[in-house]
Amino acid sequence: MRYADLFGATRREAPRDIESINGQLLYRGGFVDQTAAGIYTWLPLGVRVLERVERIVREEMAAVGAQEIIMPKLHPKEYWEQTGRWDRVDVLFKLESRTGKSYALGASHEEIVTPLAQKFIHSYRDLPKAVYQIQTKFRDELRAKGGVLRGREFGMKDCYSFHATREDFLQYYDQMLVAYRRVFERCGLTATRVRASGGDFTENISDEFHVETPSGEDTLRICDACRIGVNVEIAATQQACSTCGGALRETTGIEVGNTFDIDTKYSGAINFTYTDEAGVAQPVIMGCYGIGTTRLVGAIVEAHHDEAGIRWPASVAPLAAHVVVVVPRDAEKRVRVMGAAQDLMSQLSHAGIEALLDDREDTSTGAKFADADLIGIPVRIVVSDRALGEGGVEVKYRDAAEGSVQPRETVVAALVEAKGRTH
């Protein structure tokens, strides 16, 4: 892909109302555009990152046997009335059709998924089941200042599981915690599990996953020994770790996901039951598990950046390499350098490595380097007359201070090897 052909270039400055680091860097790097506060367009580079994050989520959902579906975004009012949430959920966007029928824009999908599952789950033989979707959610958030961390329209993976017994649910919940840990790790994040319920065993379980960053909206108290914490909003008075009794460290975090024991809250509301082995109707037990996919991209930027720009972990980088051509003025040298860049691009493409080629002639090398740092692709490869003279191209990792000249083949082989490690 040529930088010059890319729809959506880098920008020197972000508008003043984009205050957060992730919002500024994603805007300036050409990953997103802001249509209005909390409403974003994802540009080609941003879509690439989002797709890589979503792919990781899909793989880990498949690993716990969850099947992908796509539910509607437009929800008839009756669905939300059945659970009493039409009037209770303050962030619900509501609209009316020409004929006076009322709808909500999906803020969450329990209201849709529960009656859906009721159509297919009748007997204990149909259980357990889990479905998920990755989809746009709409919420009338009062404050939408955190860049893509808090959108009024945003991407979420929401998964729902259905069980015959509490035991079965609890076992699945533990599997989901493992899947969540893997998703965040694979995205290059250290997420801490934060107990969101009070810890009383008669209460429903719920956990949040937080990425610690200075910009996090939530105040947490974390036990570093157990790598578990509490949300101050919920457990304001807790001072010691409930597992080891150790001291808790106060910090701030971004909630990238959560897992809920919703038990029979929604199944009960619509009398969703299954017949057990004895032929007796029993309530279906449910779990619900969310990950903010667009927020995850923002959290990655908050966790991985420096003054110059983003430093994408290889697993979610928009492309694997950023090829910068130092275009010589001399015509003969120019042909040689441009030719070498083309050769490198086709070698990379044959090896299955996606690279961004910046061969702009009207832009200084310094500006191209600044763009490469801002965009944050993990490996920068400079094709120049000087490096060619030294027998190769200059390779510099985004997180290293210095680069080194290496033969083209070595560079391609290293990228192929790195790709093998991140997949």
| Binding stretches for ligand ATP (CB under 6 A) | 108, 139, 141, 150-151, 154, 156, 255-258, 290, 292, 294-295
- Using the minimum distance from each CB to ligand ATP, give the nearer residue, 136 or 342: 136
Nearest CA-CA partner of 302 in 398, 187, 153, 144:
187
Element (H or E) spanning 194, and its range? Answer: strand 191-195
Least distance to ligand ATP, CB of residue 150, Å: 4
Kindly state the DSSP code that residue 15 receives in the 8-state scheme. Answer: -
Least distance to ligand ATP, CB of residue 288, Å: 8
- Using the minimum distance from each CB to ligand ATP, give the nearer residue, 164 or 301: 301
> Is 355 in contact with 372 (CB distance < 8 Å)?
no
Cα 365 to Cα 376: distance, rounded to the nearest angstrom: 16
- Using the minimum distance from each CB to ligand ATP, give the nearer residue, 108 or 133: 108
**Residue nearest ligand ATP, CB atom distance:** 292
> Is 257 in contact with 191 (CB distance < 8 Å)?
yes
Least distance to ligand ATP, CB of residue 48, Å: 19
Least distance to ligand ATP, CB of residue 24, Å: 17
Cα 40 to Cα 48: distance, rounded to the nearest angstrom: 15
Least distance to ligand ATP, CB of residue 67, Å: 20
- Using the minimum distance from each CB to ligand ATP, give the nearer residue, 139 or 398: 139
Cα 2 to Cα 323: distance, rounded to the nearest angstrom: 9
Residue identified by tokens 């498949």 is 62
> Is 374 in contact with 17 (CB distance < 8 Å)?
no
- Using the minimum distance from each CB to ligand ATP, give the nearer residue, 254 or 348: 254
Cα 12 to Cα 25: distance, rounded to the nearest angstrom: 10
AA letter at 123? S
- Using the minimum distance from each CB to ligand ATP, give the nearer residue, 292 or 309: 292
Least distance to ligand ATP, CB of residue 78, Å: 22
